[in-house]
């Protein structure tokens, strides 16, 4: 049976429509990956990432819930210098652009914020944070005048004068006075101790005044009063002058001129020779040892008025003791001394540093043996001082052989108790007045 014209036309139409639909479906399947990649690139261009959504979600929650904001600990104020820096107005002013803050109330809880609102919220928070950072940076760079309270002045002056070192100097002077032959004069002893302490405070203060730019580079000395700006250089020099003048006056007119001359010479040797020599030559260690050996000599001359063999013996003991003490200390501070620009044996001649320490540890044994020969102590002293002298010599040998921080620390801490104990043993074994090994010929 033949098909009608209407049926033929409808089949042709259906075939055309189906072909068109098939072509469009095939075209869509071929182009859909390209459209997806194109959409992904556009999304990346708009910075919509997973981390971005997480950050915006956190910001959105903290803006809507003020109770969830973290309490930030306020930053401590930087240490200010006592000298106020004068800055120009152009450098002191910071240009801060104010932006209209994004109101969190505009975000409805029932809907998610759109992209535009999120970007606006992010930009507002970032600029607000940059403004706070800029203000903190400007406050840190601004120099402020530091006011010194009267209550803090004694502590600052004590650190300026190195009160612990001054106490050691006074104790060695007292030992020299007590070991000298003759009756003990209490008033002369007090004047000698006070004058020596004032002279030591003056020398230490002037030493810190000269070494401010170098102490600021060392961890060991960067917290000193002049380095931190807790006291002005003028006040430091004034304090040194107020200590040196009455100290030397007490030693000269209150004790005797020889002791006053030794005190004045020691201040000069410490401030004008030892201090500048520290950055020139390793000979500064030997000069510093002479400075430390003079106080017991001053105690002896204050009691006797003359320089005897006993005075040189006490000075020799202090002289030799300082090498194991200081060389062991400087061994652990080699990096600091290098950073500060100081020329120390431990930095430039490490082998010599260890040899000298061991050499003077052994010298303490010989000096202790010479004490009864010079009629300073009895023969009991070399015997009872031999164990501690042998022990410090052993630690000096370990320091020489191992050459490490552990052995240097042991030698240093041993030297801290060795000297007081050695002087105490000398006092207990002091030769009584009028006692002599040689019998007087009977008439």
Counting Cβ atoms within 10 Å, is residue 129 exposed (0-12), middle (13-18) or buried (19+)?
Answer: exposed
Cβ proximity of 291 and 330 under 8 Å? no
Q: How far apart are CA 353 and CA 196, in angstroms?
A: 30
Query: In b/e form, how buried is each residue of 355-383, taking b as 16+ CB within 10 angstroms?
Result: ebbbebbebbbebbbbbbeeebbbeebbe
Cβ proximity of 115 and 48 under 8 Å? yes
Candidates 372, 273, 371, 381; CA nearest to 316 is 371
One DSSP character per residue, 75-114 reads PPPPPPPSSPP---HHHH-------PPPPGGGS-TTS---
Tens of pLDDT, residue by residue, the chain (443 residues): 445 444 444 444 455 555 655 665 566 556 555 544 454 454 444 444 555 556 555 555 555 554 444 444 444 554 444 444 444 444 444 443 444 444 444 444 444 455 555 555 555 555 555 555 455 545 444 444 456 677 788 889 999 999 999 999 999 999 999 999 988 899 999 999 999 999 999 999 999 999 888 888 888 888 899 988 888 899 999 999 999 999 999 999 999 999 999 999 999 999 999 999 999 999 999 999 999 999 999 999 999 989 999 999 999 999 999 999 999 999 999 988 888 888 999 999 999 999 999 999 999 999 999 999 999 999 999 999 999 999 999 999 999 999 999 999 999 999 999 999 999 999 999 988 766 544 344 43
Q: How far apart are CA 389 and CA 206, in angstroms?
A: 35
- Running DSSP on this structure, what letter comes out for residue 377? B
Q: Is the pTM of this model over 0.75?
A: no
Q: How far apart are CA 36 and CA 178, in angstroms?
A: 99
């Amino acid at each position: 049976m033949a098909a009608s014209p209407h049926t033929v036309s409808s089949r042709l139409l259906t075939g055309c429509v189906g072909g068109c639909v098939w072509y469009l479906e095939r075209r869509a399947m071929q182009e859909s990956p390209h459209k997806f990649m194109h959409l992904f690139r556009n999304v990346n261009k708009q910075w919509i990432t997973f981390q971005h959504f997480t950050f915006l979600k956190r910001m959105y929650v903290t803006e809507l819930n003020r109770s969830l904001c973290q309490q930030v600990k306020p930053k401590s104020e930087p240490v200010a210098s006592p000298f106020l820096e004068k800055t120009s107005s152009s450098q002191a002013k910071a240009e801060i652009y104010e932006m209209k803050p994004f109101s969190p109330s505009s975000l409805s809880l029932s809907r998610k914020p759109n992209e535009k609102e999120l970007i606006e919220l992010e930009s507002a928070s970032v600029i607000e944070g940059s403004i706070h950072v800029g203000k903190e940076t400007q406050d840190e760079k601004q120099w402020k005048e530091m006011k010194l309270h009267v209550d803090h002045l004694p502590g600052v002056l004590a650190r300026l004068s190195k009160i612990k070192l001054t106490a050691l100097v006074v104790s060695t002077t007292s030992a020299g006075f007590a070991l000298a032959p003759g009756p003990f004069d209490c008033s002369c002893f007090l004047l000698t101790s006070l004058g020596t302490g004032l002279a030591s405070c003056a020398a230490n203060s002037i030493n810190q005044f000269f070494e401010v730019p170098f102490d600021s580079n060392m961890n060991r000395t960067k917290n000193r009063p002049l380095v931190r700006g807790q006291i002005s250089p003028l006040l430091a020099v004034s304090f040194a002058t107020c200590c040196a003048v009455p100290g030397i006056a007490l030693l000269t007119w209150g004790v005797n001129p020889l002791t006053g001359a030794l005190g004045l010479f020691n201040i000069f040797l410490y401030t004008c020779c030892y201090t500048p020599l520290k950055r020139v030559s390793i000979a500064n260690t030997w000069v510093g040892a002479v400075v430390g050996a003079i106080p017991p000599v001053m105690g002896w001359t204050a009691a006797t008025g003359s320089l005897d063999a006993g005075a040189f013996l006490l000075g020799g003991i202090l002289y030799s003791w300082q090498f194991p003490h200081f060389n062991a200390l400087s061994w652990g501070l080699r990096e600091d001394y290098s950073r500060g620009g100081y020329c120390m044996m431990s930095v430039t001649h490490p082998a010599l540093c260890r040899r000298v320490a061991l050499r003077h540890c052994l010298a303490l044994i010989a000096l202790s043996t010479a004490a009864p020969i010079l009629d300073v102590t009895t023969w009991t002293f070399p015997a009872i001082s031999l164990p501690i002298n042998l022990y410090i010599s052993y630690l000096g040998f370990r320091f020489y052989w191992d050459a490490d921080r552990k052995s240097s620390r042991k030698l240093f801490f041993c030297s801290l108790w060795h000297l007081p104990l050695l002087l105490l043993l000398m006092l207990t074994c002091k030769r009584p007045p009028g006692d002599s090994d040689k019998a007087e010929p009977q008439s």
